[in-house]
C-alpha cells in the first residue's frame, strides 16, 4: 500500500521532501531541527543575521538591546549576557582562573608579544568557562564571550584611580599594547572570533571618579586628535576590535554615548566601525537624570540609539524604546541597525552553529590555570617590575643572609597583588610568601606589618617596637605603596590622600615615609618594594633609600617575581609607562583635560623618574645608530642601532625610539615614543635592533585633526629610557638629526 502510494507521488515532490528532511535533521542551538535560514551555517553571516532580525517582534528586539538579553524560545535563540570582564585574566567568574599583573603592570613590560600571548591564554580560559556554562545552562553575567576590555583611556593624571586599568600615559604605547591584546583575545580564525574585545571608554574619559556622571570634558581639537583618539583609532581601524564602550561623561555638551562628533562623525562615518557599541553601565540613565540633555528616559533611549549605541548596560532606559518607536522618535528600522550589529557578533562567536563546527567550542576546563598560563603570569610579573634605585649595587641580595626582616602593609596583602577587575586563582603568592620560599632554612625571615597604608592623623606613630625587632636583621625589605582597596572605580573611600576612588595627593602616605626613615636609621640595607596602580611621589625615598622596586599589582605570582628580582634570579627590565612626578605641585588641576604640561610629551619640568625609565643589574652600550639624513614624505624609514650588554650578567633591554620635531611654529610634543623592542641580550653579546618609522609616525596633528608630514628638522633617538639626562637608565641615548623633505 505504501509503495504504491509513493510511486504515484511526483518525482519533484519526493526530492522536495528529502531536501526538507535534510534541513530539519541538522543540529542548531536549542533546536533539534533547522527551521529558519539563520540556522543554516552555510549561508553568509549577513544573510543569517537579516533573517533572524526580521523574525523578531518589536518587543523582542528591544529586549535584545539590554546587556542581559533574554531567550527567544520560539526561535531557539538562547539568552545571553553581554557583560564579561578580562582586564588581566578572566574576571569575576565562579571558576578559578589565571590572574596576570594589573594592566598598568603589563604595560610596564613594554613587551607586545608577551601581552598578545597573555590575551590568547585569557580567551582560551574564557572559552572554557563559556563552554562549561552552556553545558550547565548558565547564562549569567561574567560567563559570556564579549569582554569589556581593554581600557585604553590615556592615563593623563596619576590621581585617577582607574588609571591602573590602562596601559599608561602615552598614545603610542597604549595603542600598540591595546592592539596586541585585541588581536590575541579575538584570535586569527578567518570565520570565528575566539572572544570579542571592547575598547573603552570612548573617548575623553579619565576621572575624576566622583563626578564622572555629570562631568563635561572640554578640550582642544588638537588634544582630542593628538592624545585621546589615537589608541581608539588603532584598535578600531587596525586591530578590528569587535566592540566599543562609550563613556559616562559628556564631551562638549553632549553625553559620550549620544555624541555627534565622537559617535556618528568619527566612529561610524570616518573610521567605518561596523562592530557593536555598548554604553557604560547606567550611562544612558545619566542623559536625563544627571546631564539633563534629555527630558526623559524615552528621549534618552532614542538619542543613544540614533548615535549608534547598540546595547545598554542597564535595565531601565532602553525598555522605553518600544514607546519611542510608537511615538515616532525613531523607526523600527533604526533598531534593526543595532540588532544586526549585535547578532553579527554573536554569529561570529559561533553561538548559532553546531559546536562541532566551532573549534573554540571544544576547549575544556582543563585549560583553566594550565601550567603554560601560570608560567605566563609569572613571566609577566617579572617583566613588569621596574628597578628605580640601586645605589651601591645593594641588589641583588645574597640568599645566604642570616636574618631578613619583611615589613609593610603590602608585604602579605593578597588583595593588592590581585588589583581590580580581577579573577580568583587557586593559589597566590604574596611578597612575604615569595621571599620565604626563596630562602633556605639557614635564613630567618621575620615579618611585621608595621603600619597600615595611611595611618591615624590623630596619633603620632611610634615605631620603636618595629625598629627593635628588626635592628639586628642583615637586610630590611619594606613592602608598601598603595592598594586597590584605596584606588579604583567610584569607591566609598575617604582617607587622607584618597577620595571616591581617586587620589587627592600623589605623595606616598606620610606614615610610610616616617617608618622608612626609622628603618633607614638602623644603618641596615633597606629595600623598598612599592605596589601601586599609578605614579607615587617619593622624593625623600629616592634620595635616601638605596634600592627601590616598583612592583605594581603583580597578579597571582607577584611574590615569586619580587623575590626573583630581589635575590638575583631575574634581572629586571620593566619600564615606567607613566611619569613619576616629584610632587603634587607638578600637576595641573585634575579636572583640566588639557595636555598642557602633562605627561612626558608636554611636561616642562623635571620628573623624579621619567616615562620609559628602568634600571638593570647589567649595563648596555648603544652605538652604530643608522638613520637617513633626509626623509622623503610618504615613505617609511628604517633605522637601526647596535645594543651591547657590557656587564657581567645576561639581561633584557627595552630599546625605545623617540622623535622630536625642531623649530616648529605649530604645536607638537616635546618628544614622542614611536617604537620599542624588548630583547634578551647575554653578557658580552650585541644585537642590532631595527625600527620602521611610518609616514604616520612622522606626521603631526593639524588643526582639523588630520595628520600631515611637516617639512623640517627632526631628531631621532634610541636608548634604554626616555632621552632626558636626569632619567637615563640602562644605556646612554644615541640620536641623529634628519630632514623631512
| Interval 601-617: pLDDT, tens | 999 999 999 999 999 99
Per DSSP (E only), the strands in 381-443 are: 386-390, 403-407
Q: CATH top-level class for 373-602?
A: alpha beta
Asked about 216 being catalytic, the answer comes back as no
- For the four alpha carbons of 712, 716, 722 and 723, in that order, the dihedral sign comes to negative
First to last CA, the chain: 91
pLDDT in tens, 202-220: 999 999 999 999 999 999 9
Asked about 472 being catalytic, the answer comes back as no
Q: pLDDT tier at 170 (50, 70, 90 boundaries)?
A: very high
Residue recorded with cell 543540529 = 27
Q: pLDDT tier at 494 (50, 70, 90 boundaries)?
A: confident
pLDDT at residue 736 greater than cutoff 60 = yes
Q: How deeply is 429 buried, as exposed, middle or buried, from its count of CB atoms within 10 A (0-12, 13-18, 19+)?
A: buried
Average pLDDT over residues 119-126: 98
Edge-to-edge strands, sheet with 686-693: 620-626, 637-645, 686-693
Indicate where the chain has its CATH 2.60.40.10 domain(s).
Answer: 620-740
Indicate where the chain has its CATH 3.40.50.1700 domain(s).
Answer: 373-602
Q: pLDDT tier at 20 (50, 70, 90 boundaries)?
A: very low
Average pLDDT over residues 629-638: 92
User: d(Cα 30, Cα 20) in Å, to the nearest integer?
Assistant: 19
pLDDT at 665: 87
Residue recorded with cell 637615563 = 728
Average pLDDT over residues 657-666: 92
State how far Cα 562 lies from the chain centre.
22
User: d(Cα 600, Cα 283) in Å, to the nearest integer?
Assistant: 32
Tally Cβ neighbours within 10 Å of residue 457.
10
> On the CB side of 346, how many CA atoms lie within 13 Å of its CA?
26
Nearest-CA neighbor of 512 among 454, 467, 465?
A: 454
pLDDT in tens, 515-545: 999 999 999 999 999 999 999 999 999 999 9
The secondary structure of 125-154 as a DSSP string is HHHHHHHHHHHTT---TTSSSBB---B---
Indicate where the chain has its CATH 3.20.20.300 domain(s).
Answer: 51-65+197-217+238-348
pLDDT at residue 353 greater than cutoff 50 = yes
Q: Please identify which of the residues 280, 286, 303, 586 carries the catalytic annotation.
A: 280
pLDDT at 460: 87
- Cell of residue 398, nine digits: 645574597
pLDDT at residue 727 greater than cutoff 50 = no
Alpha helices in 210-319 (DSSP H): 221-223, 230-233, 283-289, 297-306
Q: 620-740 is classed in which CATH architecture?
A: Sandwich (2.60)
Please state, rounded to an integer, the average pLDDT across all residues of the chain.
93
pLDDT at 268: 98
Average pLDDT over residues 357-386: 98
User: d(Cα 37, Cα 34) in Å, to the nearest integer?
Assistant: 8
pLDDT at 730: 57
Average pLDDT over residues 163-178: 98
- Cell of residue 283, nine digits: 550611562
Number of H helices, E strands in the chain: 22, 27
pLDDT in tens, 289-348: 999 999 999 999 999 999 999 999 999 999 999 999 999 999 999 999 999 999 999 999
pLDDT at residue 123 greater than cutoff 60 = yes
pLDDT at residue 504 greater than cutoff 70 = yes
Nearest-CA neighbor of 365 among 104, 161, 620, 93?
A: 93
The shares of helix, strand and coil residues in the chain, as percent rounded to the nearest 5, are: 35, 20, 45
pLDDT in tens, 576-602: 999 999 999 999 999 999 999 999 999
Q: Is 273 helix (H, G, I), strand (E, B) or coil?
A: coil
CA angle 355, 359, 56 (to 5 degrees): 45
pLDDT at 722: 62
- Cell of residue 508, nine digits: 606616598
User: d(Cα 417, Cα 669) in Å, to the nearest integer?
Assistant: 35
* 330 vs 32 pLDDT, higher one: 330
Share of the chain above pLDDT 90, in %: 90
- Cell of residue 50, nine digits: 537579516
Q: Please identify which of the residues 487, 502, 653, 677 carries the catalytic annotation.
A: 487
- Cell of residue 263, nine digits: 559617535
Q: How deeply is 684 buried, as exposed, middle or buried, from its count of CB atoms within 10 A (0-12, 13-18, 19+)?
A: exposed
pLDDT at 2: 38
Do 322 and 305 touch, CB atoms closer than 8 A?
Answer: no
168 Cβ partners below 8 Å, 6+ apart? 104, 107, 108, 155, 174, 577, 578, 611
pLDDT at 405: 98
Q: 51-65+197-217+238-348 is classed in which CATH architecture?
A: Alpha-Beta Barrel (3.20)
pLDDT at 4: 37
Amino acid at each position: 500500500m505504501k509503495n504504491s502510494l509513493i510511486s504515484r507521488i511526483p518525482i519533484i515532490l519526493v526530492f522536495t521532501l528529502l531536501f526538507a528532511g535534510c534541513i530539519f535533521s541538522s543540529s542548531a542551538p536549542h533546536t533539534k531541527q533547522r527551521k529558519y535560514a539563520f540556522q543554516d551555517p552555510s549561508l553568509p553571516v549577513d544573510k543569517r543575521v537579516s533573517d533572524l532580525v526580521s523574525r523578531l517582534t518589536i518587543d523582542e528586539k528591544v529586549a535584545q538591546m539590554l546587556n542581559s538579553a533574554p531567550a527567544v524560545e520560539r526561535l531557539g535563540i538562547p539568552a545571553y549576557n553581554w557583560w564579561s570582564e578580562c582586564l588581566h585574566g578572566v574576571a569575576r567568574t565562579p571558576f578559578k582562573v589565571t590572574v596576570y599583573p594589573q594592566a598598568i603592570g603589563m604595560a610596564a613590560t613594554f613587551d607586545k608579544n608577551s601581552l598578545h600571548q597573555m590575551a590568547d591564554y585569557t580567551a582560551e580560559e574564557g572559552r572554557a568557562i563559556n563552554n562549561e556554562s552552556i553545558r550547565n545552562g548558565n547564562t549569567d553575567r561574567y560567563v559570556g564571550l564579549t569582554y569589556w576590555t581593554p581600557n585604553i583611556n590615556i592615563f593623563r593624571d596619576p590621581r585617577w584611580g582607574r588609571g591602573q586599568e590602562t596601559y599608561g600615559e602615552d598614545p603610542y604605547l597604549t595603542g600598540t599594547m591595546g592592539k596586541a591584546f585585541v588581536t590575541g583575545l579575538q584570535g586569527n580564525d578567518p570565520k570565528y572570533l575566539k572572544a570579542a574585545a571592547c575598547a573603552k571608554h570612548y573617548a575623553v574619559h579619565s576621572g575624576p571618579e566622583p563626578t564622572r556622571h555629570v562631568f563635561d570634558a572640554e578640550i582642544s581639537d588638537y588634544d582630542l586628535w593628538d592624545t585621546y583618539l589615537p589608541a581608539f583609532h588603532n584598535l578600531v581601524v587596525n586591530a578590528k576590535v569587535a566592540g566599543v564602550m562609550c563613556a559616562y561623561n559628556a564631551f562638549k555638551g553632549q553625553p559620550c554615548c549620544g555624541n555627534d562628533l565622537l559617535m556618528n562623525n568619527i566612529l561610524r562615518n570616518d573610521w567605518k566601525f561596523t562592530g557593536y557599541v555598548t554604553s557604560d553601565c547606567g550611562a544612558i540613565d545619566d542623559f536625563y537624570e544627571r546631564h539633563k540633555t534629555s527630558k526623559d528616559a524615552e528621549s534618552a533611549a532614542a538619542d543613544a540609539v540614533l548615535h549608534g549605541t547598540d546595547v545598554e548596560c542597564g535595565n531601565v532606559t532602553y525598555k522605553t524604546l518600544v514607546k519611542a518607536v510608537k511615538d515616532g522618535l525613531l523607526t523600527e528600522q533604526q533598531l534593526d541597525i543595532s540588532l544586526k550589529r549585535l547578532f553579527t557578533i554573536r554569529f561570529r562567536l559561533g553561538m548559532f552553529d553546531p559546536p562541532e563546527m566551532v573549534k573554540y567550542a571544544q576547549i575544556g576546563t582543563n585549560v583553566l590555570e594550565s601550567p603554560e598560563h601560570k608560567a605566563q603570569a609569572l613571566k609577566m610579573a617579572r617583566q613588569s617590575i621596574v628597578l628605580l634605585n640601586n645605589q651601591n649595587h645593594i641588589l641583588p641580595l645574597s640568599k645566604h643572609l642570616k636574618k631578613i626582616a619583611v615589613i609593610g602593609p603590602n608585604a602579605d596583602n593578597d588583595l593588592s597583588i590581585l588589583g581590580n577587575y580581577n579573577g580568583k586563582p587557586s593559589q597566590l603568592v604574596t611578597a612575604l610568601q615569595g621571599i620565604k620560599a626563596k630562602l633556605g632554612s639557614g635564613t630567618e625571615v621575620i615579618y611585621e606589618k608595621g603600619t597600615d597604608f595611611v595611618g591615624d592623623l590623630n596619633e603620632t606613630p611610634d615605631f620603636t617596637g618595629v625598629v627593635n625587632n628588626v635592628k639586628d636583621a642583615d637586610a630590611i625589605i619594606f613592602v608598601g605603596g598603595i592598594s586597590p582597596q584605596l584606588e579604583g572605580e567610584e569607591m566609598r573611600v575617604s582617607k587622607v590622600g584618597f577620595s571616591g576612588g581617586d587620589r587627592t595627593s600623589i605623595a606616598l602616605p606620610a606614615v610610610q615615609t616616617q617608618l622608612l626613615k626609622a628603618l633607614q636609621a638602623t644603618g641596615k640595607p633597606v629595600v623598598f618594594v612599592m605596589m601601586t596602580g599609578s605614579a607615587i611621589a617619593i622624593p625623600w625615598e629616592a634620595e635616601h633609600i638605596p634600592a627601590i622596586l616598583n612592583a605594581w599589582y603583580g597578579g597571582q605570582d607577584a611574590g615569586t617575581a619580587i623575590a626573583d628580582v630581589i635575590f638575583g634570579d631575574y634581572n629586571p627590565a620593566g619600564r615606567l609607562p607613566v611619569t613619576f612626578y616629584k610632587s603634587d605641585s607638578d600637576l595641573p588641576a585634575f579636572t583640566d583635560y588639557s595636555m598642557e604640561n602633562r605627561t612626558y610629551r608636554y611636561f616642562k619640568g623635571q620628573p623624579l623618574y621619567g616615562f620609559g625609565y628602568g634600571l638593570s643589574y647589567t649595563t648596555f652600550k648603544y652605538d652604530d645608530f643608522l638613520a637617513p639624513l633626509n626623509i622623503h614624505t610618504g615613505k617609511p624609514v628604517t633605522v637601526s642601532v647596535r645594543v651591547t650588554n657590557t656587564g657581567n650578567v645576561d639581561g633584557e633591554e627595552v630599546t625605545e625610539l623617540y622623535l622630536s620635531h625642531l623649530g616648529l611654529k605649530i604645536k607638537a610634543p616635546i618628544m614622542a615614543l614611536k617604537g620599542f623592542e624588548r630583547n634578551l641580550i647575554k653578557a658580552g653579546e650585541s644585537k642590532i635592533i631595527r625600527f620602521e618609522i611610518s609616514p604616520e609616525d612622522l606626521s603631526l596633528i593639524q588643526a582639523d585633526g588630520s595628520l600631515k608630514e611637516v617639512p623640517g628638522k627632526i631628531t631621532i633617538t634610541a636608548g634604554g629610557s626616555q632621552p632626558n639626562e636626569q632619567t637615563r637608565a640602562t644605556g646612554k641615548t644615541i640620536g641623529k638629526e634628519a630632514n623631512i623633505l
